[in-house]
Amino acid sequence: MSLLVVGSIAIDSVETPFGRAENVVGGAATYFALAASFFAPVRMVAAVGDDFPAEVLDDLRTRGVDLAGVERRAGRTLRWSGRYHEDMNVRDTLHLDLGVFADFQPLVPERYRDSAYVFLANIDPRLQASVLEQLYAPGVVGCDTMNHWIAESRPDLERLLERVGILVINDEEARLLSGERNVVRAARRVLQMGPKTLLVKRGEYGVIQFSANSIFAVPAFPLEEVFDPTGAGDCFAGGFMGQLARSGDTSPAGLRRAIVYGSVMASFVVEDFSHRRLQGLTADMIEHRYRQFVSLTDIDGG
Amino acid sequence: MSLLVVGSIAIDSVETPFGRAENVVGGAATYFALAASFFAPVRMVAAVGDDFPAEVLDDLRTRGVDLAGVERRAGRTLRWSGRYHEDMNVRDTLHLDLGVFADFQPLVPERYRDSAYVFLANIDPRLQASVLEQLYAPGVVGCDTMNHWIAESRPDLERLLERVGILVINDEEARLLSGERNVVRAARRVLQMGPKTLLVKRGEYGVIQFSANSIFAVPAFPLEEVFDPTGAGDCFAGGFMGQLARSGDTSPAGLRRAIVYGSVMASFVVEDFSHRRLQGLTADMIEHRYRQFVSLTDIDGG
């Protein structure tokens, strides 16, 4: 089944304790689409400036990503530069230039409107809502957001959340959204806002899923080197939604397996700068790491 | 099989965001013994002052804890007081009075010397070594330590680690001991020092186990209220070693199941101040929570 994503495409400059990468591919929708493309056809809604490298778009097309919804406009692509601390759970934004993204108004192409699987990456909740309004009958709606919208656009965000099935945020965002420090209490509050499923991303500690009747926790894959955490959360969402779209299985066990596929994709992308690690990836490598996750978490294994 | 523990018995005063408890039972060996007593007979080597409440020792005896190795001396019992932050992963020690523990010299009673399962709770590594020397043939040796000994008594600690099978420390201690920030690299270094198994306690994120050929990660049990984290690590070790002694199963799967039992005991003790939550606990409640851990982590469950 086709999977639509709306969000940012960016040009990033990143510095980590392991080195730096300048003017590399970034943006939540880009990471999401690359990760999801291993699982299902992806439809993208985004905007780039006239400075965006054509070969990156060509690469996405080669991977089965439909770019009919990617508007190319005069001006600069969104640019972000950031620096990660020694503790790579912490980063500083050094510079942000919204470029053509500043007045982005997502327009869903006619042929995307039947999309059954939708992911609303982190953008203004009013724009996220406008994408939903342009779709006929989105069945599985995933959504991300960030501190900025939680603090500054809460009414818009709360209206949106009533229409979101699966919210994918990090622990800090869950605390801010709920006003609760404890993650279990935070989750209970968030589930009252609309989502049937909450996925809380905890960086190097993995992901914890809450729904009305169950909790599922999966650790992050233990890696000896994390080169660049940028895009980990978006690749998680891409693998997760991609697997749901591929399998059509949104049963409790289907959701859990999708969470593991998301964790697999996140574990790959952090092994190199930008999206480089995804370039050489194969389906076999993804399945191999999935089995490693099974072995990592199986109480009766070892 | 009998399980010997050496370590501290203390009187604690604790303040958390949920309240305070003054002059309550504390100490690593106490928490360990209480948790382990649900699984196997425990033999304790420790020291208390003449101010230590007799009813606490009576309670331990009732639970099958052998106190022949607990020396009662003139003077004060070790007293610790601490305050936990809003983020309960962080605590300040407000006051520490070693009392009779200052010149504690562990003496292993004759009838303990055949102990096959031994846990060296956090004390001076020279004292931990002296306990091993008093035993005939300890088969399964677990060990904890802390920043102070890693920084101040490294040669003694390194000599001890050559004789330890299972090291149980937290993530900060693993970093300090190894000089590596990344937990996988830290574990590889620690495994070169002697232990065949390293268990890294990560507080609210659970435990990760490293051995030469495998990694196992289990989350902490998601709790709505954590009243008092004191003793969580010691109850983890108690449940873990207790299950090993009960089952005699130190196969890879046996170790994993013991790690889950340890996590079960840690999840209970933090639900109330001091050791109160362990008082009313039953074997059924432990088994029930064990099954909840299975459901929490089973990729194909839900």
Q: What is the pLDDT of residues A55-68, one digit of tens each?
A: 999 999 999 999 99
List for chain B the helix, strand, coil content (%; round to 5): 40, 25, 35
Say yes or no for a CB contact (<8 Å) between A297 and B206.
no
Sort out which chain B residues have CB atoms less than 8 A from A214's CB and list them: 295, 302
- Angle at which helix A28-36 crosses helix A252-269, to 10 degrees, equals 110
**Which residue numbers of B have CB closer than 8 Å to A's CBs?**
86-87, 181-185, 188, 202, 204-206, 208, 214-219, 222-226, 251-253, 255-257, 260, 293-302
Distance, in Å, from the CA atom of A182 to the CA atom of B270, rounded to the nearest integer, reads 14
Residue type, A299: I
* Residue given tokens 């186990």 in the structure block: B209
What pLDDT shows up at residue B238?
Answer: 98
A66-118 pLDDT tens trace: 999 999 999 999 999 999 998 888 899 999 999 999 999 999 999 999 999 99
pTM of the model: 0.96
Instruction: Tell which residue, A51, A9, A69, has the closest CA to residue A231.
Output: A9
| Digitized pLDDT (tens) for each residue of chain B, 302 residues in all | 899 999 999 999 999 988 999 999 999 999 999 999 999 999 999 999 999 999 999 999 999 999 999 999 999 999 999 999 988 888 999 999 999 999 999 999 999 999 999 999 999 999 999 999 999 999 999 999 999 999 999 999 999 999 999 999 999 999 999 999 999 999 999 999 999 999 999 999 999 999 999 999 999 999 998 889 999 999 999 999 999 999 999 999 999 999 999 999 999 999 998 889 999 999 999 999 999 999 999 999 87
What pLDDT shows up at residue B297?
Answer: 97
Say yes or no for a CB contact (<8 Å) between B224 and A185.
yes
Average pLDDT over residues A133-137: 96
- Answer yes or no: are the C-beta atoms of B29 and B275 closer than 8 Å: no
Please tell me which residue of chain B has the smallest CA distance to A223: B184
ipTM rounded to 2 decimals: 0.94
A189-238 pLDDT tens trace: 999 999 999 999 999 999 999 999 999 999 999 999 888 999 999 999 99
A10-22 pLDDT tens trace: 999 999 988 999 9
Given A215, A217, A299, which is nearest B294 (Cβ)? Answer: A299
What pLDDT shows up at residue A88?
Answer: 83
Distance, in Å, from the CA atom of A215 to the CA atom of A112, rounded to the nearest integer, reads 33
Sort out which chain B residues have CB atoms less than 8 A from A253's CB and list them: 299-302
Average pLDDT over residues A168-186: 97
What pLDDT shows up at residue A89?
Answer: 80
- Answer yes or no: are the C-beta atoms of B209 and B199 closer than 8 Å: yes
Tokens of B65: 């804890």
Residue A271 pLDDT level (bands cut at 50, 70, 90): very high
Say yes or no for a CB contact (<8 Å) between A208 and B222.
yes
pLDDT above 90: percentage of residues in chain A? 94
Say yes or no for a CB contact (<8 Å) between A297 and B293.
no
CA–chain centroid gap for B244, Å, is 14
Q: Is the dihedral of CA B129, B135, B141, B145 positive or negative?
A: negative
- Answer yes or no: are the C-beta atoms of A297 and B207 closer than 8 Å: no
Which residues have C-beta within 8 Å of that of residue A152, sequence separation ≥ 6?
Answer: none
What pLDDT shows up at residue A1?
Answer: 80
Say yes or no for a CB contact (<8 Å) between B223 and A184.
yes
Say yes or no for a CB contact (<8 Å) between A214 and B302.
yes
Say yes or no for a CB contact (<8 Å) between A299 and B297.
yes
Given B86, B185, B260, which is nearest A181 (Cβ)? Answer: B86
Given A183, A205, A260, which is nearest B202 (Cβ)? Answer: A205
Sort out which chain A residues have CB atoms less than 8 A from B253's CB and list them: 299-302
Say yes or no for a CB contact (<8 Å) between A299 and B215.
no
Distance, in Å, from the CA atom of A154 to the CA atom of A158, rounded to the nearest integer, reads 6
- Identify any residues that bridge with A17 across adjacent strands, giving them in sequence order: none
What is the length of chain B?
302
Residue to substitute from A84, A180, A196, A224, interface B, most B β-carbons within 10 A: A224
